Structure 1
Amino acid sequence: MRICLLGALMAASALAHAEVQTREIPYTAADGTKMVGYYAYDDAVEGKRPGVVVVHEWWGLNDYAKRRARDLAELGYSALAIDMYGEGKNTEHPKDAMSFMQAALKDADAAKARFNAGMDLLREQQQTDADKLAAVGYCFGGKVVLDMARQGVPLDGVVSFHGALATQTRAVPGSVKARVLVEHGSADSMVSSDDVAALSAEMVKAGADFQLVNLPGAKHGFTNPDADRFQEKGVDVAYDKAADEQSWSDMQRFLGETFGQGN
Protein backbone atom coordinates (compact mmCIF):
# COMPACT_ATOMS: atom_id res chain seq x y z
CA MET A 1 0.00 0.00 0.00
CA ARG A 2 2.84 2.36 0.94
CA ILE A 3 4.61 1.60 -2.39
CA CYS A 4 1.41 2.28 -4.35
CA LEU A 5 0.93 5.57 -2.51
CA LEU A 6 4.55 6.57 -3.18
CA GLY A 7 4.11 5.76 -6.87
CA ALA A 8 0.96 7.85 -7.05
CA LEU A 9 2.66 10.78 -5.34
CA MET A 10 5.63 10.57 -7.72
CA ALA A 11 3.31 10.50 -10.73
CA ALA A 12 1.36 13.47 -9.40
CA SER A 13 4.60 15.36 -8.78
CA ALA A 14 5.84 14.67 -12.30
CA LEU A 15 2.54 15.84 -13.74
CA ALA A 16 2.63 18.99 -11.63
CA HIS A 17 6.07 19.86 -12.99
CA ALA A 18 5.22 19.05 -16.60
CA GLU A 19 4.87 22.14 -18.73
CA VAL A 20 5.34 23.55 -22.19
CA GLN A 21 9.03 23.74 -23.03
CA THR A 22 10.30 26.36 -25.49
CA ARG A 23 13.57 27.25 -27.14
CA GLU A 24 14.88 29.26 -30.06
CA ILE A 25 16.66 27.24 -32.74
CA PRO A 26 18.86 28.87 -35.38
CA TYR A 27 18.75 27.42 -38.88
CA THR A 28 19.70 28.40 -42.41
CA ALA A 29 17.55 28.69 -45.52
CA ALA A 30 18.68 27.34 -48.88
CA ASP A 31 19.74 30.84 -49.98
CA GLY A 32 22.05 31.15 -46.98
CA THR A 33 19.78 33.44 -44.97
CA LYS A 34 20.11 32.96 -41.21
CA MET A 35 16.74 32.12 -39.67
CA VAL A 36 15.43 31.70 -36.12
CA GLY A 37 12.74 29.19 -35.19
CA TYR A 38 10.76 29.19 -31.95
CA TYR A 39 10.01 25.62 -30.86
CA ALA A 40 7.41 24.54 -28.28
CA TYR A 41 6.24 21.18 -26.94
CA ASP A 42 4.56 19.84 -23.81
CA ASP A 43 6.89 17.54 -21.88
CA ALA A 44 3.88 15.87 -20.25
CA VAL A 45 3.09 14.24 -23.60
CA GLU A 46 4.96 10.98 -24.07
CA GLY A 47 6.48 9.93 -27.36
CA LYS A 48 6.18 11.54 -30.75
CA ARG A 49 3.24 13.69 -31.71
CA PRO A 50 2.07 15.50 -34.90
CA GLY A 51 4.02 18.60 -35.85
CA VAL A 52 2.54 21.98 -36.72
CA VAL A 53 4.41 24.78 -38.48
CA VAL A 54 3.27 28.30 -37.47
CA VAL A 55 3.78 31.11 -40.00
CA HIS A 56 3.72 34.64 -38.65
CA GLU A 57 1.74 37.72 -39.71
CA TRP A 58 3.32 40.41 -41.86
CA TRP A 59 4.78 41.89 -38.67
CA GLY A 60 7.33 39.08 -38.58
CA LEU A 61 8.29 36.49 -35.97
CA ASN A 62 6.94 38.36 -32.96
CA ASP A 63 5.50 37.40 -29.58
CA TYR A 64 2.09 36.64 -31.08
CA ALA A 65 3.45 33.96 -33.43
CA LYS A 66 5.43 32.48 -30.55
CA ARG A 67 2.33 32.46 -28.36
CA ARG A 68 0.46 30.46 -30.97
CA ALA A 69 3.25 27.90 -31.00
CA ARG A 70 2.87 27.53 -27.23
CA ASP A 71 -0.92 27.27 -27.59
CA LEU A 72 -0.48 24.40 -30.05
CA ALA A 73 2.02 22.73 -27.74
CA GLU A 74 -0.58 22.86 -24.96
CA LEU A 75 -2.91 20.96 -27.29
CA GLY A 76 -0.30 18.21 -27.53
CA TYR A 77 1.43 19.14 -30.78
CA SER A 78 5.07 19.68 -31.60
CA ALA A 79 4.98 23.29 -32.80
CA LEU A 80 7.52 25.50 -34.53
CA ALA A 81 6.99 29.17 -35.32
CA ILE A 82 9.20 29.64 -38.35
CA ASP A 83 10.96 32.70 -39.69
CA MET A 84 10.09 33.87 -43.22
CA TYR A 85 12.01 37.17 -43.07
CA GLY A 86 15.40 36.13 -41.70
CA GLU A 87 17.20 36.66 -38.38
CA GLY A 88 13.87 36.61 -36.57
CA LYS A 89 13.19 40.21 -37.48
CA ASN A 90 9.84 41.80 -36.77
CA THR A 91 8.32 45.26 -36.61
CA GLU A 92 5.27 47.25 -35.51
CA HIS A 93 5.51 49.72 -38.37
CA PRO A 94 3.21 49.00 -41.35
CA LYS A 95 5.66 50.38 -43.94
CA ASP A 96 8.41 48.10 -42.68
CA ALA A 97 6.02 45.15 -42.53
CA MET A 98 4.95 45.75 -46.13
CA SER A 99 8.58 45.93 -47.21
CA PHE A 100 9.49 42.72 -45.37
CA MET A 101 6.48 40.90 -46.82
CA GLN A 102 7.09 42.02 -50.39
CA ALA A 103 10.72 40.97 -50.20
CA ALA A 104 9.75 37.55 -48.87
CA LEU A 105 7.13 36.98 -51.59
CA LYS A 106 8.91 38.41 -54.63
CA ASP A 107 10.45 35.01 -55.44
CA ALA A 108 7.96 32.15 -55.02
CA ASP A 109 10.68 29.50 -55.13
CA ALA A 110 12.69 31.27 -52.43
CA ALA A 111 9.58 31.58 -50.23
CA LYS A 112 8.90 27.87 -50.66
CA ALA A 113 12.51 27.07 -49.79
CA ARG A 114 12.28 29.14 -46.60
CA PHE A 115 9.09 27.38 -45.60
CA ASN A 116 10.61 23.98 -46.34
CA ALA A 117 13.68 24.81 -44.25
CA GLY A 118 11.41 25.49 -41.29
CA MET A 119 9.34 22.38 -41.92
CA ASP A 120 12.51 20.26 -42.10
CA LEU A 121 13.66 21.73 -38.78
CA LEU A 122 10.36 20.72 -37.18
CA ARG A 123 10.70 17.22 -38.61
CA GLU A 124 14.12 16.91 -36.96
CA GLN A 125 12.85 17.51 -33.44
CA GLN A 126 12.71 14.30 -31.43
CA GLN A 127 9.15 14.99 -30.28
CA THR A 128 7.82 15.27 -33.86
CA ASP A 129 6.12 12.48 -35.75
CA ALA A 130 7.59 13.34 -39.14
CA ASP A 131 4.79 11.49 -40.92
CA LYS A 132 2.14 13.82 -39.47
CA LEU A 133 2.63 17.48 -40.34
CA ALA A 134 0.36 20.49 -40.70
CA ALA A 135 0.82 24.25 -40.99
CA VAL A 136 -1.16 27.22 -39.71
CA GLY A 137 -0.65 30.82 -40.77
CA TYR A 138 -1.92 34.27 -39.91
CA CYS A 139 -2.35 37.20 -42.33
CA PHE A 140 0.80 36.97 -44.51
CA GLY A 141 1.33 33.52 -42.99
CA GLY A 142 -2.16 32.49 -44.05
CA LYS A 143 -1.19 33.20 -47.65
CA VAL A 144 2.08 31.31 -47.21
CA VAL A 145 0.43 28.11 -45.97
CA LEU A 146 -2.21 28.31 -48.72
CA ASP A 147 0.51 28.71 -51.32
CA MET A 148 2.37 25.73 -49.89
CA ALA A 149 -0.80 23.66 -50.24
CA ARG A 150 -1.29 24.92 -53.79
CA GLN A 151 2.25 23.83 -54.65
CA GLY A 152 1.83 20.36 -53.24
CA VAL A 153 4.15 20.64 -50.23
CA PRO A 154 3.73 17.35 -48.31
CA LEU A 155 1.50 18.49 -45.47
CA ASP A 156 -1.53 16.71 -44.07
CA GLY A 157 -3.42 19.95 -43.49
CA VAL A 158 -3.15 23.73 -43.57
CA VAL A 159 -5.19 26.38 -41.75
CA SER A 160 -5.27 30.02 -42.86
CA PHE A 161 -6.46 32.62 -40.35
CA HIS A 162 -7.40 36.00 -41.90
CA GLY A 163 -4.93 35.24 -44.67
CA ALA A 164 -4.50 36.86 -48.07
CA LEU A 165 -6.23 34.62 -50.60
CA ALA A 166 -5.07 35.91 -53.98
CA THR A 167 -2.12 34.23 -55.65
CA GLN A 168 -0.13 34.13 -58.86
CA THR A 169 0.33 30.37 -58.54
CA ARG A 170 -3.06 28.72 -58.67
CA ALA A 171 -3.70 25.12 -57.74
CA VAL A 172 -4.33 22.66 -60.54
CA PRO A 173 -6.20 19.36 -60.40
CA GLY A 174 -4.31 16.97 -58.17
CA SER A 175 -1.76 19.51 -56.91
CA VAL A 176 -3.24 20.04 -53.44
CA LYS A 177 -2.29 17.15 -51.17
CA ALA A 178 -3.23 18.79 -47.87
CA ARG A 179 -6.67 19.29 -46.40
CA VAL A 180 -7.40 23.03 -46.35
CA LEU A 181 -9.30 25.16 -43.82
CA VAL A 182 -9.68 28.91 -44.35
CA GLU A 183 -10.98 31.07 -41.48
CA HIS A 184 -12.03 34.39 -43.02
CA GLY A 185 -13.64 37.48 -41.53
CA SER A 186 -16.67 38.73 -43.47
CA ALA A 187 -15.67 42.36 -42.74
CA ASP A 188 -12.04 41.93 -43.85
CA SER A 189 -11.37 45.00 -46.01
CA MET A 190 -8.03 43.57 -47.18
CA VAL A 191 -9.59 40.58 -48.91
CA SER A 192 -12.23 41.18 -51.56
CA SER A 193 -15.34 39.09 -52.11
CA ASP A 194 -13.89 38.32 -55.54
CA ASP A 195 -10.81 36.83 -53.85
CA VAL A 196 -13.02 34.63 -51.68
CA ALA A 197 -15.04 33.44 -54.68
CA ALA A 198 -11.89 32.85 -56.73
CA LEU A 199 -10.29 30.76 -53.99
CA SER A 200 -13.40 28.62 -53.61
CA ALA A 201 -13.61 28.05 -57.36
CA GLU A 202 -9.89 27.30 -57.51
CA MET A 203 -10.06 24.69 -54.75
CA VAL A 204 -13.14 23.01 -56.20
CA LYS A 205 -11.51 22.85 -59.64
CA ALA A 206 -8.34 21.42 -58.09
CA GLY A 207 -10.35 18.72 -56.32
CA ALA A 208 -9.04 19.81 -52.92
CA ASP A 209 -10.48 18.82 -49.53
CA PHE A 210 -11.42 22.42 -48.75
CA GLN A 211 -13.45 24.25 -46.10
CA LEU A 212 -14.06 27.98 -45.81
CA VAL A 213 -15.57 29.50 -42.69
CA ASN A 214 -16.94 33.03 -43.06
CA LEU A 215 -16.92 34.68 -39.63
CA PRO A 216 -19.63 37.37 -39.47
CA GLY A 217 -18.46 40.90 -38.74
CA ALA A 218 -14.82 39.94 -38.20
CA LYS A 219 -12.11 42.19 -39.60
CA HIS A 220 -8.58 41.37 -40.67
CA GLY A 221 -6.41 40.31 -37.74
CA PHE A 222 -9.38 39.01 -35.75
CA THR A 223 -7.31 36.43 -33.82
CA ASN A 224 -4.68 38.85 -32.49
CA PRO A 225 -5.50 40.74 -29.26
CA ASP A 226 -2.87 43.33 -30.24
CA ALA A 227 -4.72 44.17 -33.46
CA ASP A 228 -6.72 47.02 -31.97
CA ARG A 229 -3.68 49.15 -31.21
CA PHE A 230 -2.51 48.84 -34.80
CA GLN A 231 -5.61 50.78 -35.85
CA GLU A 232 -3.75 53.88 -34.66
CA LYS A 233 -1.19 53.18 -37.37
CA GLY A 234 -3.86 53.33 -40.08
CA VAL A 235 -4.31 49.57 -40.51
CA ASP A 236 -7.91 48.32 -40.76
CA VAL A 237 -7.59 45.43 -38.31
CA ALA A 238 -9.46 44.54 -35.13
CA TYR A 239 -9.50 41.77 -32.57
CA ASP A 240 -12.75 39.82 -32.37
CA LYS A 241 -12.97 37.52 -29.33
CA ALA A 242 -15.89 35.47 -30.67
CA ALA A 243 -14.23 34.96 -34.06
CA ASP A 244 -10.91 34.13 -32.41
CA GLU A 245 -12.48 31.49 -30.19
CA GLN A 246 -14.60 29.98 -32.94
CA SER A 247 -11.74 29.80 -35.43
CA TRP A 248 -9.45 28.21 -32.83
CA SER A 249 -12.14 25.64 -32.05
CA ASP A 250 -12.57 24.99 -35.77
CA MET A 251 -8.82 24.46 -36.07
CA GLN A 252 -8.76 21.99 -33.20
CA ARG A 253 -11.54 19.97 -34.80
CA PHE A 254 -9.85 20.14 -38.20
CA LEU A 255 -6.46 19.00 -36.90
CA GLY A 256 -8.07 16.29 -34.82
CA GLU A 257 -9.84 14.94 -37.91
CA THR A 258 -6.72 15.33 -40.03
CA PHE A 259 -4.53 13.38 -37.65
CA GLY A 260 -7.22 10.95 -36.48
CA GLN A 261 -7.10 12.28 -32.94
CA GLY A 262 -9.54 13.69 -30.45
CA ASN A 263 -8.22 17.27 -30.33
Structure 2
Amino acid sequence: MAIPLLLLGASAQAAVVTEEVRYQLDGQSYLGYLAYDDSLPAPLPGVLVVHEWWGHNDYVRQRADMLAELGYAALALDMYGDGRNTEHPSEAGEFAKASLASLPLAERRFNAARDWLAAHPRVDDGRIAAIGYCYGGGVVLHMARAGAELKAVASFHGSLAPLADPLPAGSPVRIAVFNGAADPLVPAEQVAAFRQEMDAAGADYLLVDYPGALHAFTNPRADSVAAEFNMPLGYDAQADKDSWLQLQAFLHESLE
Protein backbone atom coordinates (compact mmCIF):
# COMPACT_ATOMS: atom_id res chain seq x y z
CA MET A 1 0.00 0.00 0.00
CA ALA A 2 1.30 3.44 -0.90
CA ILE A 3 1.72 5.68 2.14
CA PRO A 4 0.65 9.33 1.81
CA LEU A 5 3.53 11.78 1.90
CA LEU A 6 2.17 13.21 5.15
CA LEU A 7 2.75 9.88 6.85
CA LEU A 8 6.35 9.93 5.69
CA GLY A 9 6.89 13.27 7.38
CA ALA A 10 7.19 15.09 4.06
CA SER A 11 4.74 17.92 4.68
CA ALA A 12 6.44 21.21 3.81
CA GLN A 13 3.97 23.05 6.04
CA ALA A 14 4.62 21.04 9.18
CA ALA A 15 4.32 23.17 12.31
CA VAL A 16 4.91 20.81 15.21
CA VAL A 17 4.10 22.24 18.61
CA THR A 18 5.08 20.55 21.86
CA GLU A 19 4.18 21.02 25.49
CA GLU A 20 4.67 19.37 28.83
CA VAL A 21 1.37 18.44 30.46
CA ARG A 22 0.35 17.19 33.87
CA TYR A 23 -2.46 14.77 34.57
CA GLN A 24 -3.62 13.30 37.85
CA LEU A 25 -4.59 9.91 39.23
CA ASP A 26 -5.45 9.30 42.89
CA GLY A 27 -3.69 12.48 43.91
CA GLN A 28 -0.48 11.49 42.10
CA SER A 29 0.88 13.78 39.39
CA TYR A 30 2.05 12.33 36.07
CA LEU A 31 4.15 14.08 33.45
CA GLY A 32 3.20 13.90 29.80
CA TYR A 33 4.70 15.37 26.66
CA LEU A 34 2.33 16.25 23.84
CA ALA A 35 3.39 16.86 20.24
CA TYR A 36 1.25 17.58 17.18
CA ASP A 37 1.26 19.58 13.95
CA ASP A 38 -1.07 22.53 14.45
CA SER A 39 -1.14 23.28 10.71
CA LEU A 40 -3.27 20.16 10.19
CA PRO A 41 -7.06 20.23 10.54
CA ALA A 42 -8.44 18.65 13.69
CA PRO A 43 -9.28 16.07 14.78
CA LEU A 44 -6.04 14.13 14.48
CA PRO A 45 -5.53 10.43 15.24
CA GLY A 46 -3.77 10.00 18.58
CA VAL A 47 -0.83 7.82 19.55
CA LEU A 48 0.34 7.11 23.09
CA VAL A 49 4.06 6.45 23.49
CA VAL A 50 5.22 4.36 26.46
CA HIS A 51 8.80 4.76 27.62
CA GLU A 52 11.53 2.20 28.21
CA TRP A 53 12.24 1.07 31.77
CA TRP A 54 14.46 4.14 32.16
CA GLY A 55 11.30 6.23 32.54
CA HIS A 56 9.97 9.37 30.87
CA ASN A 57 13.09 10.77 29.23
CA ASP A 58 14.25 12.54 26.07
CA TYR A 59 14.11 9.36 23.97
CA VAL A 60 10.37 8.86 24.39
CA ARG A 61 9.83 12.56 23.66
CA GLN A 62 11.86 12.25 20.47
CA ARG A 63 9.56 9.46 19.29
CA ALA A 64 6.52 11.63 20.08
CA ASP A 65 8.04 14.41 17.95
CA MET A 66 8.59 11.96 15.10
CA LEU A 67 4.95 10.86 15.26
CA ALA A 68 3.79 14.47 15.25
CA GLU A 69 5.75 15.01 12.04
CA LEU A 70 3.76 12.13 10.54
CA GLY A 71 0.46 13.80 11.32
CA TYR A 72 -0.45 12.28 14.68
CA ALA A 73 -1.12 13.86 18.04
CA ALA A 74 1.38 11.98 20.18
CA LEU A 75 1.46 11.82 23.97
CA ALA A 76 4.58 10.45 25.64
CA LEU A 77 3.09 9.24 28.92
CA ASP A 78 4.46 8.50 32.35
CA MET A 79 4.04 5.10 34.01
CA TYR A 80 6.12 5.93 37.11
CA GLY A 81 4.74 9.27 38.28
CA ASP A 82 6.24 12.77 38.42
CA GLY A 83 8.20 12.06 35.23
CA ARG A 84 10.58 9.85 37.21
CA ASN A 85 13.53 8.53 35.21
CA THR A 86 17.04 7.23 35.70
CA GLU A 87 20.17 6.25 33.78
CA HIS A 88 21.13 3.33 36.05
CA PRO A 89 19.69 -0.13 35.26
CA SER A 90 19.29 -1.22 38.88
CA GLU A 91 17.08 1.79 39.64
CA ALA A 92 15.24 1.37 36.33
CA GLY A 93 14.51 -2.24 37.24
CA GLU A 94 13.12 -1.16 40.58
CA PHE A 95 10.89 1.46 38.93
CA ALA A 96 9.59 -1.04 36.39
CA LYS A 97 8.95 -3.77 38.95
CA ALA A 98 7.11 -1.41 41.28
CA SER A 99 4.96 -0.05 38.46
CA LEU A 100 3.76 -3.54 37.53
CA ALA A 101 3.34 -4.89 41.06
CA SER A 102 -0.35 -4.06 40.80
CA LEU A 103 -1.57 -4.63 37.25
CA PRO A 104 -4.92 -2.93 37.93
CA LEU A 105 -3.03 0.19 39.02
CA ALA A 106 -0.73 0.01 35.99
CA GLU A 107 -3.78 -0.22 33.75
CA ARG A 108 -5.33 2.80 35.42
CA ARG A 109 -2.13 4.78 34.95
CA PHE A 110 -2.10 3.96 31.26
CA ASN A 111 -5.80 4.69 30.87
CA ALA A 112 -5.47 8.03 32.67
CA ALA A 113 -3.08 9.11 29.91
CA ARG A 114 -5.29 7.59 27.24
CA ASP A 115 -8.33 9.45 28.56
CA TRP A 116 -6.38 12.72 28.71
CA LEU A 117 -5.33 12.35 25.08
CA ALA A 118 -8.81 11.30 23.97
CA ALA A 119 -10.30 14.42 25.58
CA HIS A 120 -7.89 16.80 23.86
CA PRO A 121 -9.70 19.06 21.37
CA ARG A 122 -7.18 18.26 18.63
CA VAL A 123 -7.70 14.49 18.92
CA ASP A 124 -10.22 12.06 17.43
CA ASP A 125 -11.12 9.93 20.45
CA GLY A 126 -12.18 7.06 18.18
CA ARG A 127 -8.75 6.76 16.56
CA ILE A 128 -6.14 6.10 19.22
CA ALA A 129 -3.21 3.68 19.15
CA ALA A 130 -0.26 3.03 21.46
CA ILE A 131 3.37 2.16 20.87
CA GLY A 132 6.01 1.21 23.40
CA TYR A 133 9.71 0.46 23.72
CA CYS A 134 11.24 -2.35 25.83
CA TYR A 135 9.27 -2.04 29.10
CA GLY A 136 6.75 0.08 27.20
CA GLY A 137 6.35 -2.60 24.55
CA GLY A 138 5.28 -5.06 27.21
CA VAL A 139 2.90 -2.47 28.64
CA VAL A 140 1.08 -1.81 25.36
CA LEU A 141 0.74 -5.53 24.68
CA HIS A 142 -0.72 -5.96 28.15
CA MET A 143 -3.20 -3.16 27.51
CA ALA A 144 -4.29 -4.84 24.29
CA ARG A 145 -4.80 -8.09 26.18
CA ALA A 146 -6.69 -6.22 28.91
CA GLY A 147 -9.15 -4.71 26.43
CA ALA A 148 -8.07 -1.05 26.48
CA GLU A 149 -9.89 1.30 24.12
CA LEU A 150 -7.26 1.25 21.40
CA LYS A 151 -7.37 0.60 17.68
CA ALA A 152 -3.84 -0.77 17.58
CA VAL A 153 -0.64 -1.30 19.55
CA ALA A 154 2.97 -1.70 18.44
CA SER A 155 5.78 -3.10 20.55
CA PHE A 156 9.47 -2.48 19.86
CA HIS A 157 11.83 -4.97 21.54
CA GLY A 158 9.36 -5.54 24.37
CA SER A 159 8.59 -8.69 26.34
CA LEU A 160 6.01 -10.85 24.56
CA ALA A 161 4.95 -12.99 27.52
CA PRO A 162 1.53 -12.13 28.98
CA LEU A 163 1.57 -10.39 32.35
CA ALA A 164 -1.86 -11.85 33.07
CA ASP A 165 -4.50 -13.29 30.74
CA PRO A 166 -3.68 -13.90 27.07
CA LEU A 167 -5.33 -11.97 24.27
CA PRO A 168 -9.03 -12.89 24.20
CA ALA A 169 -10.49 -14.43 21.08
CA GLY A 170 -12.00 -11.88 18.75
CA SER A 171 -10.04 -8.93 20.13
CA PRO A 172 -10.42 -5.99 17.70
CA VAL A 173 -7.00 -4.50 18.50
CA ARG A 174 -4.44 -4.75 15.72
CA ILE A 175 -1.00 -5.73 16.98
CA ALA A 176 2.49 -5.18 15.59
CA VAL A 177 5.68 -6.52 17.17
CA PHE A 178 9.19 -5.56 16.09
CA ASN A 179 11.62 -7.94 17.76
CA GLY A 180 15.35 -8.55 17.78
CA ALA A 181 15.92 -12.18 16.83
CA ALA A 182 19.19 -12.17 18.82
CA ASP A 183 17.64 -10.59 21.93
CA PRO A 184 18.39 -12.92 24.87
CA LEU A 185 15.64 -11.20 26.89
CA VAL A 186 13.04 -12.38 24.37
CA PRO A 187 14.13 -15.94 23.51
CA ALA A 188 12.81 -17.90 20.55
CA GLU A 189 10.51 -19.90 22.82
CA GLN A 190 8.79 -16.69 23.90
CA VAL A 191 8.36 -15.61 20.29
CA ALA A 192 6.86 -18.99 19.37
CA ALA A 193 4.47 -18.84 22.33
CA PHE A 194 3.40 -15.34 21.28
CA ARG A 195 2.60 -16.55 17.76
CA GLN A 196 0.53 -19.38 19.22
CA GLU A 197 -1.33 -16.94 21.47
CA MET A 198 -2.11 -14.60 18.57
CA ASP A 199 -3.18 -17.43 16.27
CA ALA A 200 -5.41 -18.94 18.97
CA ALA A 201 -7.13 -15.57 19.44
CA GLY A 202 -7.54 -15.04 15.69
CA ALA A 203 -5.65 -11.77 16.08
CA ASP A 204 -4.80 -9.35 13.29
CA TYR A 205 -1.08 -9.16 13.99
CA LEU A 206 2.33 -8.53 12.48
CA LEU A 207 5.53 -9.96 13.95
CA VAL A 208 8.89 -8.95 12.48
CA ASP A 209 12.06 -10.68 13.75
CA TYR A 210 15.24 -8.83 12.81
CA PRO A 211 18.17 -11.25 12.38
CA GLY A 212 21.11 -10.37 14.62
CA ALA A 213 19.28 -7.51 16.36
CA LEU A 214 19.62 -7.23 20.13
CA HIS A 215 17.46 -5.69 22.82
CA ALA A 216 16.91 -1.92 22.49
CA PHE A 217 17.84 -2.00 18.79
CA THR A 218 15.96 1.26 18.09
CA ASN A 219 17.84 3.37 20.64
CA PRO A 220 21.16 4.89 19.47
CA ARG A 221 22.33 4.99 23.11
CA ALA A 222 22.08 1.20 23.44
CA ASP A 223 25.72 0.56 22.56
CA SER A 224 27.12 2.96 25.15
CA VAL A 225 24.76 1.64 27.83
CA ALA A 226 25.76 -1.93 26.96
CA ALA A 227 29.43 -1.06 27.34
CA GLU A 228 28.98 0.81 30.61
CA PHE A 229 26.79 -1.75 32.37
CA ASN A 230 27.69 -4.98 30.54
CA MET A 231 24.14 -5.47 29.27
CA PRO A 232 23.00 -7.44 26.16
CA LEU A 233 21.87 -4.33 24.25
CA GLY A 234 22.78 -2.98 20.84
CA TYR A 235 21.65 -0.37 18.35
CA ASP A 236 20.83 -1.65 14.86
CA ALA A 237 20.38 1.21 12.40
CA GLN A 238 18.83 -0.96 9.69
CA ALA A 239 16.30 -2.56 12.03
CA ASP A 240 15.50 0.84 13.54
CA LYS A 241 14.83 2.36 10.11
CA ASP A 242 12.82 -0.58 8.81
CA SER A 243 10.67 -0.93 11.93
CA TRP A 244 9.84 2.79 11.84
CA LEU A 245 8.81 2.57 8.19
CA GLN A 246 6.69 -0.49 8.89
CA LEU A 247 5.10 1.30 11.85
CA GLN A 248 4.03 4.12 9.55
CA ALA A 249 2.16 1.72 7.26
CA PHE A 250 0.68 -0.11 10.26
CA LEU A 251 -0.63 3.06 11.91
CA HIS A 252 -2.01 4.38 8.64
CA GLU A 253 -3.93 1.17 8.04
CA SER A 254 -5.12 1.03 11.64
CA LEU A 255 -6.18 4.68 12.09
CA GLU A 256 -7.27 5.76 8.61
Aligned to 1:236: 232
Deviations along 1:65-93, one digit per CA (max 9) or x if unpaired, are 00000000000000000000000011110
Residue 141 of structure 2 is aligned to residue 155 of structure 1: no
Query: Within 5 A, what are the aligned runs for 1:1-263?
Result: 18-29=14-25, 31-174=26-169, 176-231=171-226, 232-260=228-256
Contact 2:134 2:158 in 1 (8 A): yes
Distance (Å, rounded) in 2 between the aligned partners of 1:68 and 1:74: 10
Distance (Å, rounded) in 2 between the aligned partners of 1:189 and 1:153: 29
Distance (Å, rounded) in 2 between the aligned partners of 1:226 and 1:157: 27
Distance (Å, rounded) in 1 between the aligned partners of 2:199 and 2:12: 47
Aligned to 1:6: none
Q: Secondary structure at the match of 1:24?
A: strand
Shift of 1:222: 0.6
Distance (Å, rounded) in 2 between the aligned partners of 1:128 and 1:108: 27
Structure 1 counterpart of 2:96, one-letter code: M
Shift of 1:168: 3.3
Contact 1:94 1:235 in 2 (8 A): no
Structure 1 counterpart of 2:254, one-letter code: T
Question: Cα RMSD between the aligned structures?
Answer: 1.4
Deviations along 1:152-201, one digit per CA (max 9) or x if unpaired, are 11110000000011123132543633100000011111111111111111
Q: Secondary structure at the match of 1:205?
A: helix
Gap regions ≥5 residues in structure 1: 1-14
Q: Secondary structure at the match of 1:183?
A: strand
Q: Secondary structure at the match of 1:242?
A: helix
Q: Which of the pair has more CA radius of gyration?
A: 1
Q: Secondary structure at the match of 1:136?
A: strand
Q: How much identity, in percent, do the aligned residues show? A: 49
Gap regions ≥5 residues in structure 2: 1-10
Distance (Å, rounded) in 2 between the aligned partners of 1:94 and 1:170: 28
Count, aligned residues: 245
Aligned to 1:11: none
The runs of at least 4 aligned residues of structure 1 exceeding 6 Å deviation read none
Shift of 1:33: 2.1
Distance (Å, rounded) in 2 between the aligned partners of 1:240 and 1:191: 16
Contact 1:53 1:79 in 2 (8 A): yes
Contact 1:65 1:81 in 2 (8 A): yes
Contact 1:179 1:210 in 2 (8 A): yes
